[in-house]
Structure 1
C-alpha cells in the first residue's frame, strides 16, 4: 500500500502544474497549456498525454499498478491533470474533446475505487469525480460506465442522479440489444427503489427525490419488467 505522504506529495505536484496550466489557459495560450500538461504527465505519471489518451482505462490502471496494488497517488494526480486538460479543450472551443477527456477521468476514478477502495481517500476521489461529472455533463456514456455510476451515486445519497443514470443505462442496453442484461438491470432498479422507500423522508429529500417520485419510478420499472417478459 502506498503511503499517504507519498500520495499527497503527488497531488501537490499535480496542483502546481494545474495552476500553471490555468494561467496559460486564462491568457488563451492553449498550446502552451497543453505543453505544460504533457510535461507534467511525463514527470508525474511516466507517460505523455497522447499515450494516456490512447490507453484504455484498464490498461492505464495497469500502468499505475505495481506488485498487485494500484498507485492511487498517480490515479488522483491523473484525475487532476485530465480535468485540467478537459478545461483547456473547453476553453479552446472543443467541447467534444473536453467531454471525452472528462468521461475518461470519471471511468478511471470509478474503476480505481472499485479495485482498491480506501476510506481515507474517499474525499479526494469524490471531489475529482464531481468535477469530472460536471465537465462531462449530458455527454453520452457507455453502458459499462453507467453501470459503475449507479452504485456510486446511490452510496453517495444522490438518489435523483442514480435514478437518472439508471434510465440512461436501460436505454443503452436496449440500443445494444442486451435484453437479458437489461432485465437484470430493471430488477436491480426495482430493488434500489424498494431500499429507498425504507429511508426517512429527510434522506429521500436530500437525495433530490420524494417518496411519491420513487413510487412512480418503481411502478414504471415493474411495467418495464412485465413488458420485457411478454
Structure 2
C-alpha cells in the first residue's frame, strides 16, 4: 500500500509538470521545457537528461533491477518522460536525438509491460502503440524487436506475434528454437483462445511447418 501511495504521488507530480512542459512546448520554449523534464529526472530517478542520452536502453533497465526483479512501475514512469523528451527534441530540430529517446522509451515500456507493470498508471498499451507508430519507418534494435514479439504474445495477439517472429527470423535476430517454442506454447492453448488471438490452430500448424521448411 505504501508503495502504491508513493507511485501515485510521483505520478501526480509528473503529471503536473508534464502539463507545464506541454504549455512551454506550445509557446515554442523548448529549452525551458527540457529544463523542467531534467528536474523530474533528477527528483524522481536521480538521473539527468545528459546521462540518459548516453546510456543504452539495456543499461537503463539494469539500473531499475533490484534483487533480480525489475521495478516495472518506476521504469514505465521513466519511459513516459523519455517519450516527452523525444517529442521535444523532434519538434525543435533534433530529429535523430528525438528518435533515440523514442527508441529507449519503447524499450522501457515493453520491458515494464512484460515485468508486471500496472497498466492503469500510464496506460502503457496506448503509449507502446503510439511509439511503434512513430518508429514504424525505422528498424528497431534486435533486443527491442524481441521484446515486441514477447509483448504481442503476452497481449494475446498471436497473429501479430507471428508476423514479428518471421521478421526477426529473416533478420537473424532470433533463433529457430525460440520460434519452435512459440508454436509449442500456442498448441497447448484452447482453440477458442487461438481464434481470439487471430491465429486458429490450423494456421498455427501451417506457421510451424513454414518455420521448419524455411529456417
Q: TM-score range by the shorter chain?
A: 0.7 to 0.9
Cα distance, 1:155 vs structure 2: 1.2
Structure 1 match to 2:133? 134
Which of the numbers 178, 184, 200 marks the counterpart of 1:188?
Answer: 178
Distance 1:149 1:168, change over 3 A: same
Map 1:144-223; keep pairs closer than 5 Å: 144-173=143-172, 182=174, 185-193=175-183, 195-196=185-186, 198-200=189-191, 203-204=193-194, 206-209=196-199, 214-223=204-213
SS in 1 for 2:172: helix
Is the 8 Å Cα contact of residues 159 and 198 (structure 2) preserved in structure 1? yes
Cα distance, 1:209 vs structure 2: 4.8
SS in 1 for 2:171: helix
Map 1:47-196; keep pairs closer than 5 Å: 47-64=47-64, 70-92=70-92, 94-112=94-112, 117-118=115-116, 121-124=118-121, 126-127=124-125, 128-173=127-172, 182=174, 185-193=175-183, 195-196=185-186
Count how many residue pairs are aligned between Structure 1 and Structure 2.
212
Cα distance, 1:86 vs structure 2: 1.9
Unaligned runs of 5+ in 1: 175-181, 226-230
Unaligned runs of 5+ in 2: none
Distance 1:208 1:99, change over 3 A: farther
* Deviation sequence 1:117-168 (CA, Å, 0-9, x none): 346x244474343443333334212222222222221011122331222123
Whole-angstrom CA distance in 1 between matches of 2:85 and 2:13: 16
CA RMSD of aligned residues (A): 3.2
Is the 8 Å Cα contact of residues 37 and 85 (structure 2) preserved in structure 1? yes
Distance 1:211 1:12, change over 3 A: same
